[in-house]
Amino acid sequence: MAAKDGSIVPTASARRPLLEALGAVVRARRQARGMTVRALAGRSGVSERFLAQVEGGVGNISVARLDALSEALESTAGALLTLAEAERAADGDGRAAGAVALLGLRGAGKSTIGPRLAKRLKVPFVELDASIEAAAGMRLATLFEIHGMAYYRRLEREVLRRVLAENAGVVLAVGGSLVTDEESYGLLRARAFTVWLRATADDHWDRVVAQGDARPMAHRANARSELQALLRARAPLYAQARATVDTSALGLRGTLDAVLAALRGDGTGDERSG
């Protein structure tokens, strides 16, 4: 059946998981921006009736309409579809071919837990930022200075896709800011079992300083409070991971055991000490 705006609207019996997932993504993004259905319809040119069908998972939107809708949501059609694929995957087993991704700010423990987890799972350990540096032929600081953030994000997506495609199983430590890129984070959630290694802001700070990294303090008098603010801002994004493990509460061995339990399906998705 065709709607007035030319889009095809399947019956409820023809509803497909991807359409349901796309509808959930559109609704969540609209609500996050404080927009009503009427406001989004007016901005995108998609009728209120059909937009309601899209959000309900029964509107089979055309490519052109999806592009207009994504622009109104300050996103892209590709990003919305990638996020939808992640939502659909989360309703299934949540990961592909044994890929495990560790998330968190610097000092979360990704580089400490990652190699130990990979050894237990008998798979490679990959630090995504190191792979990006290898692909670019330069250190990240130089890459940002010469090419800027937009170039880094494009390269990050390319390298992420390649790492996930080339490894049947892998433990992947990703940069702390990856979760702020919708498309990359959607891809990661669709293709890997994501784990947020959560820690207090003080623990993040102390671990980084203990590693001899002076960057948090360099020429920034309010560096500690900035770290706290950054953690607060990103926490809702990190919380979208399949599992959360509190490294401050559990310590090294407890964290590793909790991550393994989450992968086996033995955990609750939010592992804490007793």
DSSP string, 93-149: TS-STTEEEEE-STTSSHHHHHHHHHHHHTS-EEEHHHHHHHHHTS-HHHHHHHH-H
Q: 125 pLDDT exceeds 80?
A: yes
Same domain, 182 and 205: yes
User: What pLDDT is stored for residue 75 in this prediction?
Assistant: 84
**Predicted TM-score (pTM) of this structure:** 0.66
**Residue whose C-alpha is closest to residue 113's, from 12, 245, 264:** 245
Flag whether 5 is in a domain: no
Flag whether 2 is in a domain: no
CATH number of the domain to which 67 belongs: 1.10.260.40
- CA Rg value for the chain: 20
Domain total of the chain: 2
Q: What is the distance between the alpha carbons of residues 115 and 111, in angstroms, rounded to a whole number?
A: 7
Quick check: 131 and 138 in contact, CB under 8 A?
no
Q: Which domain holds residue 57?
A: 12-90
Q: What is the distance between the alpha carbons of residues 210 and 194, in angstroms, rounded to a whole number?
A: 26
Q: 172 pLDDT exceeds 90?
A: yes
For residue 199, give the 3-state DSSP assignment. coil
Mark which of 55, 90, 125 sits at the end of a domain.
90
The two three-digit tokens of residue 233, written as one number: 């801002």
Angle at 262 between CA 256 and CA 264, to 5 degrees: 105
Same domain, 156 and 70: no
User: What pLDDT is stored for residue 218 in this prediction?
Assistant: 52
Flag whether 4 is in a domain: no
Quick check: 26 and 19 in contact, CB under 8 A?
no
CA-to-CA separations, 209 to 165, 204, 218, in angstroms, rounded: 35, 9, 11
**pLDDT tens digit string along 236-259?**
999 999 999 999 888 888 999 999
Within 8 A by CB and 6+ apart from 31, the residues are none
CA-to-CA separations, 173 to 107, 117, 178, 235, 266, in angstroms, rounded: 12, 11, 11, 17, 22
**pLDDT tens digit string along 28-81?**
778 777 889 999 999 999 999 999 999 888 888 888 999 999 899 888 888 888
